[in-house]
Amino acid sequence: MVTKPPRRVPEEAAATFEEITAAIEALTPGEWAKLRRYADYRTFCLGPKAEGRTGDDLLNTALTDLLEDTRRWNKVKVGFFRFLAGAITSISSNWAKSFKQAETPVTEADVLRTDVEGEVFSPLDSVPSRRPDPEQTRHQNQTLERIETLFKGDEKAQMVLMAWQEGCDPAGVRELWELSQNDYNTIVRRIRRRLDDAGMTAHLGRGGN
């Protein structure tokens, strides 16, 4: 994978406090719901690497990075919702990569870069993953087994889950299993809602109850 060069949003293009406040006020109910769910799912992705941090922490870190000028939002190029979603992805990825890296401790603010599109990337992206410790391995194995059990009688969900595990993107999954967009969307919703029902993803942002 090629890491993008560090191109920061120019200071004159970066949003001001007033613009940030106005953008928060202007988020729609659908965008708030998506941010809530996306931050929760990113926390779910982290598993034990979240180290007790929640979806709220992810969202607040994204905002604090913006206020502290660690990240810059170019409002002309990217909407505020997209900026926050991108920041959440980047922060959760950095949390995962810096998890227990005792030999090479890094703080997130030290390594983050934002390009002119407002997309944040990290040089840590090119750092190879460490060998997982036993606790992580057990968590990964148990989570995969639990998901497999949950969808035992649902052949279509199993097909999508398998393709995802192999790294297929949505278009690739649809092509692989000859699914229409509607069929795919229905299956994905079913997967999400069953995982929520099983308590694997829902409410993670508020402490994982």
* Interface positions with another protein (CB under 8 A): 17, 20-21, 24-25, 27-38, 41-42, 44-45, 47, 56, 59-60, 63-64, 67-68, 85, 129, 132, 136-137, 140-141, 143-144, 147, 158, 161-162, 164-170, 185, 188-189, 191-193, 195-196, 201-203
CB of 164 to another protein, least distance (A): 4
CB of 20 to another protein, least distance (A): 6
Handedness of CA 125, 126, 130, 131 (dihedral sign): positive
CB of 194 to another protein, least distance (A): 11
CB of 160 to another protein, least distance (A): 9
* Dihedral over alpha carbons 155, 160, 161, 162 (to 10 degrees): 90
Return the number of the residue (16 or 104) whose C-beta is nearest another protein.
Answer: 16
Check residue 101 and give left, alpha or beta (phi > 0: left; psi -120 to 50: alpha).
beta
CB distance 93 to 122 below 8 Å: yes
Return the number of the residue (3 or 141) whose C-beta is nearest another protein.
Answer: 141
CB of 15 to another protein, least distance (A): 12
Return the number of the residue (7 or 144) whose C-beta is nearest another protein.
Answer: 144
- Residue 180: φ, ψ to 5°: -75, 165
Q: How far apart are CA 102 and CA 197, in angstroms?
A: 37
Q: How far apart are CA 159 and CA 161, in angstroms?
A: 6
Return the number of the residue (42 or 72) whose C-beta is nearest another protein.
Answer: 42
Return the number of the residue (3 or 21) whose C-beta is nearest another protein.
Answer: 21
Q: Which residues of 65-95 are buried (b: 16+ CB within 10 A; e: fewer)?
A: bbeeebbbbbbeebebbebbbbbbbbbbbbb
Return the number of the residue (4 or 203) whose C-beta is nearest another protein.
Answer: 203
CB of 21 to another protein, least distance (A): 6
DSSP letter string over 125-149? GGSPPPPPPHHHHHHHHHHHHHHHH
